[in-house]
Chain A
Amino acid sequence: MRIGIDVGGTHTDIVLLEGDDVLIAHKSLTTADVTTGVKNVLAHVRDNGVEMHEVDAVMIGTTQFTNAVIERRELSTVAAIRLGLPSGRGMPPKLGWPSEISAALGSTDFMLHGGYLYDGKKLSDIDDAEIDKVIADLKSKDIQSVAITSAFSPMNSDPENYVAQRISAEVPNIALTLSHRIGRVGLLERENAALLNAALLSFADRVVNAFAEAVAEFGLSCPVFISQNDGTLMESQFVREFPALTFSSGPTNSLRGAARLTGFDEAIVVDIGGTTSDIGVLRGGFPRESNMVVEVGGVRTNFRMPDVQAIGLGGGSLVEDDGKSIGPKSVGHNLVRDGLVFGGNMLTATDIVVAAGLAEVGDKSKVTELPQSTIENGLSTIRQILEDGIRMMKPNSDPLPVILVGGGAILAPKEMAHVSEIHAPTNSGVANAIGAAIALIGGEAERFIDYSNTPRQDALSEVKSAAESVAVSAGADPGKLRTIDIEETAIPYMDEGATRVRVKVVGDVAKLASGREVN
């Protein structure tokens, strides 16, 4: 048995899974301290007679860190240290960031000499006097977190490591994020990723402590995993160092949960919430990934993330102009207070479908006065918005099944253009938690290979099998491995053809019931 928990902005959901069977599914409100919400859902499972010591693993998906960046809260001030001068003069860290988030991280930025060139030569020598000044400044400013980025650190991380050692030696309690551990080639995007990660470290400690406390209180002694944005799991301790790797694990889990609930591997998933609908695409049971440069809270990063489009339609969307205009303004989670059917005085998308007799929510008698024209226009506007959104995301002109998840699924019509069939699976409200519970074990391998000696296809197979054995030894089912990323970086200072090859594979957790392969 395994437990999947999804800690969202509004709801904390839990599922208990035995193999593919959902034994328990439950929703509760997220609490300000997070811990209480997690304890509430765990209590629900225990109170249903589950022997907690029989649980083999707990998988937690959380949007806490993404939301913190988007809402600019819980962010620590961070000193940015970049080693790359004399290149990039006049191009300081956080260039192009939205002003509120760059203000949240503060303006302690250092541009130092150091780093490497593409050919393995030094870009410039590290200047210890510059580092002395940085250290003095860090001490005087009481900064808790530092992000260090040097030019070409994915190929040679010595400058980052050196500066990290010097800072640790003299400012022992400072948290460090080294860019080569979190991002790839592309200095600005990697630096941005490292900065966001550094800003989240103290919040990560609180979140992981909260999870650990909740889990321990219920006598769960099994491993606790947290899901990452690529749909694989990391040990919860790892999150203390790399919270940014959880970005967008929410949509990934929602999409994977929807695939598992319906058995569809190729489908459009529409997650309708209170304010927006998130539309994603399943290909082979996995989310279609977005382009390399992905913005998180308006900041460019180079994480790999699912391609999810948010459109401004949700259960709380405001209806205007006799139903001809709906959203993007919304009463959001205040729907249960402000919507007409809940006794409020705002006309929302939910009121339209209730008035049309398509859903039973709240008090239908509150919407009997609504003009027929408003209802008809409203239904047609809702349908138009959803159809447009789906058409934008569809991979081709063939009709695809649509899977509806989320609390606002009642808004969707029974039929839509470009759609072969519409499914609103049971338990769709807890798709995220199911996605977390079925998340995968990843395996990664990296080799330096000379293509002039080893043909490329052979080289790729070699690295792929190495990645597969890593995944299998971490507990993945060898029969169900899938390559999710192949990265090749030329190493020009070696002989021509020398290439750094990185392959990432994922697989389902094998024989989960025994509980022993998971660690």
Chain B
Amino acid sequence: MQLTIDMLADLSAGAAFLATGGGGDPHLTYLSACEGLKAYGPATMIAPQDLDDDALVVALGAVGAPTTSLELLPSIDESIEVLSAYKKLTGRKVDAVVSFEIGGGNSLIPIVAAAANNIPVIDGDGMGRALPEATMMTYAIAGIQPTPAVALDYAGNTQLIEAETTEAYEQIIREFSMQRGGMALSAEFQMTGRQMKECIVPNTVSLSIELGKILRSRQGTADQLAEQIASVFEPSIYGEFRQLFTGIVSDMSTSVVGGYDVGRATIAPLIEGTPSLIIDIKNEYLTAKLDGRLLASVPDLICILDSETAEPINAERLRYGQRVSVFAVGCPDHYRSEQALKVVSPRSFGFDFDYTPIEDIPAN
């Protein structure tokens, strides 16, 4: 399948939905990817099973605090530069690239590198959503080593990273990013085709394009589109889809702490006198509670859309007075194993409760 410029807007909208509030402002990465494909032509995308078992694939993406990218603009060649630096500094060959995170701008970053190097980009990613740390990738959970990895800053400075553990790698790349303007590109988690097929969340790029088409159709409000959105998720690896709440953002606070945007949003109901929805945020929307009752939590997906336009709203764009619709989607099975829940359960984000799969939480 050829990925052309005209598909990027749908991909970007779908990816913004799957970003669950994180992933940065997709508009900037979108503009940059459009300029990239204008310069290098379309990219070829293949399904995970179509890559040779012995081929070598590397994951590309950006690491950092999303708020900073509102001012520190991406450059169109940065994914190409990080891939070149990776090949040069590690001496390894690369047959294909893949996204490590479908949620937000990271879904688009490997595409320009694929187009410019005439190698395929894989239809899938290492999260099926957006999450803040490398240890949370399905690649890491399956035991793939993140290093050797290469980091690149906005000015073209590079660093080769070798780390003993994914935790150590995470600290090093995060530190590099925070020291270098808050955003860095990375090439990491090299794996064989065989390894990739076992741990990738498959077909998320094509699912995003399909989802984005619905969100951008302008056929109705977010609530009116819910049924169509459900029809994308229900037959997929995600499964459960729920409409949680519609209301108005009545309080919102974020700050950058240790490299992450943290905060809490209060969404007031449309009917006065009923309880407000509380969303806790650490880069992404992590939990949704109504009157103290949990409606959904990480690793299941919590997504906030502008009620009128059905446009997904990132945490850093969520503001006082906005009218929003909140949805939840069940996470892929990759995140439901005991091994996975050690790193992506509510407890691993500092909450004092265990994960309850969304389908086990009574609907309203």
Contact = CB atoms under 8 A, between A and B. Distances in A.
Given A395-B270, A490-B67, A90 B32 contact: yes
Contact of A456 (B74, B253, B257, B270): B253
Interface stretch (B44-52, B303-311, B331-339): B303-311
A88 B74 contact: yes
Contact of B73 (A118, A188, A486): A188
A283 to B, nearest CB: 9
B206 interface: no
A68 interface: no
B147 interface: no
A367 interface: no
Interface stretch (B138-146, B280-288, B318-326): B318-326
Contact of B72 (A87, A96, A293, A395): A87
Interface in B3-39: 25, 27-28, 31-32, 35-36, 39
Contact of B319 (A187, A292, A307, A309): A292
Contacts of A84: 71-73
B217 interface: no
The SS class assigned to the A binding surface is loop
Interface string A143-159: 00000000110000000
Nearest to B318: A292
Contacts of A187: 70-71, 73
B333 to A, nearest CB: 35
Contacts of A309: 308
Contacts of A96: 31
A393 B307 CA distance: 10
Nearest to B251: A486
A446 interface: no
Contact of A118 (B31, B39, B68, B270): B68
A130 to B, nearest CB: 16
B323 A118 contact: no
A86 B156 contact: yes
A188 B30 CA distance: 13
A370 interface: no
Contacts of B319: 292
Contact of A117 (B72, B221, B306): B72
The range of chain A's interface size is 35 or more
Given A392-B221, A456-B253, A86 B71 contact: no
Interface in B142-162: 154-156
A185 interface: yes
B75 A118 contact: no
B256 interface: yes
B182 A117 contact: yes
Contacts of B31: 91, 95-96, 188
B253 A488 contact: yes
Given A87-B75, A118-B71, A123-B181, A291 B256 contact: no
Contact of B311 (A89, A124, A186, A291): A291
A91 B255 contact: no
Contact of A396 (B252, B254, B270): B270
Which residue, B68, B70, B220, has most C-beta atoms of chain A within 10 A?
Answer: B70
B256 A492 contact: yes
A418 interface: no
Given A187-B70, A291-B306, A291-B322, A118 B182 contact: yes
A490 B256 contact: yes
Contacts of A300: 27
Interface of B: 25, 27-28, 31-32, 35-36, 39, 65, 67-68, 70-77, 154-156, 178, 181-182, 220-221, 246, 252-257, 270-271, 306, 308-309, 311, 313, 317, 319-323
Given A292-B319, A497-B255, 9 more contacts: A88-B75, A91-B32, A117-B72, A118-B72, A118-B182, A151-B71, A187-B71, A289-B321, A293-B317
